[in-house]
Amino acid sequence: MPTQLFDGSKSIPIDRFPAEAWSVIAGNREPNEAQKYADAVAYLYRAIEVRANALVSVPWKIYRGNSDTVLWASEDENPPDPLMWAQDLPPLLWRTSIAWSFYNEAFWQKEKNRVRVLSLRWLDPDSMTPKWDKKAGLIAFERKLGEETITFAPEEIVYAWKQGIRETTPAVPPAQAAMQAAGVLYNADAFAAGFFERGAIKATLLTIDGNPSDNELKRLESWWKRFFSGVKDAWSTAAVRADVKAVPVGEGLESLTNATLTPEKREDIATALGVPHSMIMSNAANYATADMDKRTFYDVTVVPDCLLLQRQLNRQLFGPMGYRLSFDPQEMAVYQEDESKRSAAFAAYVGAGLPLSMVAEMLGLYIPDDMEYSDLDKLNEPDPVSVSMAPAQTPDAPVPDSQTDGQRADEIKRFRRWMKKRPTRNPSDFDSDILTEGERVAIAAMMRDEAQSSETGSSFRHGDAVGWESYP
């Protein structure tokens, strides 16, 4: 049941409070100024949203301990009974990314009974304060709601944060780093809005000949505002008897026509958030550039966030309960497309006559400890045949022309699924009329390399993973 606040006449679920309410609820704590800009500056808002959407788009799986048994995957809508307490994991990941943009820290409460965790609850970062001891480290979390302070033990809270150079404080959040640039855009928009609210009239000084009384001046000012203020009166016409001169003393919209100011500040925001400009502005780049930007975005921003979050969640939440969370960015289309391009290069090397061992070693492919790269060449040696008979097709004979690219692609996908479920099986046990034995062994080796690299967080980020589609 959600926590309720009761003022004597009406109760309100606490998770329905607007962000500004926390300045009161959390003991008049200062609101996060970056949120004010994000609410008003569309570019900053979109950059933060792109980061969050990208993080939750990365596939993940939950395993039982260190086994290969998958209990729940991101593509499954509902978790199994043992993981019902984690059913809110997708929205929690999204909100964590948002919180990291503003605070670089996020808080999940483990709602539990005496025996087990029942659910996970999001806690507003504005209401939370970690408590540190000089010797013991993290000792508690305090949640301030008005005059009430709730204290949590460290094991009751999942604390996901990006540590800075200080021992007990998070790093500077991306949105805070973008505040100056966002402030320029915010004030430019405010100026433009105010300009049109004044009827598109510049700040003006009215002068009158003679020495009119104060009452006359007030009447003139009132008259000016009545006839010319507001957009609806922008083209109004009026006649006066007095000799009145209007002298502009402010600037109009022409002062904002600097062709570089707005683009520069948008670029500053994108840089601070780690989001390519082309992913925020649809017309910012051609498709080729946008594709490269997307891959770079995942390499340097999204995947590192996933790996950091993975380690923290496994240490604080999943690990103690006998489970393991693993993000699988290599399964995303952005990496599969790159693999397809690299596979063409692999096929070209082998097609040019280079032995499998040389290509595998040159590309740094992983092979089992009990194998040598030279063993790959033995798999491609043709079987001996009788001279009195027509040569039979060997296991590594060229793929018949009748096989379409689509058939090979489907077979490769089928083999990959088979190997993921049976990582310890011999690839030769896979029954296929399309893939040769040498191909299956090479693909399996690359999958092991990919799995090993994902654990170290290096291969798919640095571009040394090799695809296997179109292998010879």
Per-residue pLDDT tens for 171-187?
Answer: 999 999 999 898 888 87
Q: How many domains does the chain have?
A: 3
Extract the tokens encoding 429: 């046990």
Nearest Cα residue to 101 out of 17, 184, 38 = 38
Q: What percent of the chain stands above pLDDT 90?
A: 35
Query: Higher model confidence: residue 310 or residue 398?
Result: 310
What is the C-alpha separation between 182 and 310, in angstroms, rounded? 31
**Mean pLDDT of the 105-118 span:** 94
pLDDT at 31: 57
Most confident segment among 9-23, 119-133, 257-271, 428-442? 119-133
Minimum mean pLDDT range among 19-23, 84-88, 254-258: 19-23
Query: Residue 327: helix, strand or coil by DSSP?
Result: strand
Most confident segment among 9-13, 188-192, 225-229? 188-192
Q: What percent of the chain stands above pLDDT 70?
A: 64
Minimum mean pLDDT range among 58-72, 187-201, 205-219, 283-297: 187-201
Query: Residue 330: helix, strand or coil by DSSP?
Result: helix
**Same domain, yes or no: 323 and 426:** no
| Exposed e or buried b per residue across 156-168, where buried means at least 16 C-beta atoms within 10 angstroms of its C-beta | ebbbbbbeeeeee
Q: Does a structural domain hold residue 46?
A: yes
Q: Does a structural domain hold residue 11?
A: no
**Same domain, yes or no: 85 and 173:** yes
Residue 323 confidence (pLDDT) above 90 = yes
**Same domain, yes or no: 143 and 280:** yes
**Same domain, yes or no: 305 and 197:** no
Question: What type of residue sits at position 425?
Answer: R
Minimum mean pLDDT range among 20-24, 150-154, 332-336: 20-24
pLDDT at 376: 77
**Same domain, yes or no: 204 and 241:** yes
pLDDT at 120: 97
pLDDT band at 374 (very low <50, low <70, confident <90, very high): confident
pLDDT at 218: 78
Residues pairing with 244 in the sheet = 208
Minimum mean pLDDT range among 210-224, 239-253, 354-368, 415-429: 239-253
pLDDT band at 285 (very low <50, low <70, confident <90, very high): low
Query: Higher model confidence: residue 157 or residue 431?
Result: 157
Query: Higher model confidence: residue 385 or residue 263?
Result: 263
| pLDDT, mean over the chain | 76
**Same domain, yes or no: 208 and 323:** no
**Same domain, yes or no: 263 and 250:** no
Q: Please give the residue range of the domain that contains residue 209.
A: 179-256
**Mean pLDDT of the 320-349 span:** 81
* pTM of the entire predicted model: 0.62
pLDDT at 228: 59
What is the C-alpha separation between 127 and 37, in angstroms, rounded? 20
Query: Higher model confidence: residue 369 or residue 420?
Result: 420
Extract the tokens encoding 272: 């601070």
**Same domain, yes or no: 189 and 122:** no
**Same domain, yes or no: 340 and 300:** no
Which of 205, 222, 256 terminates a domain? The answer is: 256
CB of 398 within 8 A of CB of 436? no
Q: Does a structural domain hold residue 228?
A: yes
Task: Report the relative pairing of strands 157-161 and 70-73 from DSSP bridges.
Answer: unpaired
CB of 349 within 8 A of CB of 359? yes
Q: Does a structural domain hold residue 7?
A: no
Q: Does a structural domain hold residue 14?
A: no
Residue keyed to tokens 């793929």: 399
Q: Which helix (H) or strand (E) holds 18?
A: none
Residue 456 confidence (pLDDT) above 90 = no
What is the C-alpha separation between 321 and 278, in angstroms, rounded? 42
Query: Higher model confidence: residue 350 or residue 369?
Result: 350
pLDDT band at 224 (very low <50, low <70, confident <90, very high): low
Q: Does a structural domain hold residue 8?
A: no
**Same domain, yes or no: 284 and 151:** yes
**Mean pLDDT of the 62-76 span:** 94
Extract the tokens encoding 436: 């040769």
Q: Which helix (H) or strand (E) holds 117?
A: strand 117-123
**Same domain, yes or no: 230 and 168:** no
pLDDT at 138: 94
Q: Does a structural domain hold residue 300?
A: yes
Extract the tokens encoding 207: 């002068």
Minimum mean pLDDT range among 45-54, 220-229, 377-386, 423-432: 377-386
Query: Higher model confidence: residue 403 or residue 327?
Result: 327
**Mean pLDDT of the 439-450 span:** 73
Extract the tokens encoding 271: 């840089």
What is the C-alpha separation between 337 and 355, in angstroms, rounded? 25
What is the C-alpha separation between 205 and 120, in angstroms, rounded? 61
pLDDT at 360: 73
Residue 112 confidence (pLDDT) above 70 = yes
pLDDT at 118: 95
**Same domain, yes or no: 92 and 171:** yes
**Mean pLDDT of the 344-357 span:** 74
Query: Residue 165: helix, strand or coil by DSSP?
Result: coil
**Mean pLDDT of the 295-318 span:** 96
R_g over Cα of the chain: 32
Nearest Cα residue to 416 out of 467, 350, 346, 364 = 467
Nearest Cα residue to 195 out of 252, 256, 246 = 252
Minimum mean pLDDT range among 136-140, 215-219, 467-471: 467-471
Q: Does a structural domain hold residue 3?
A: no
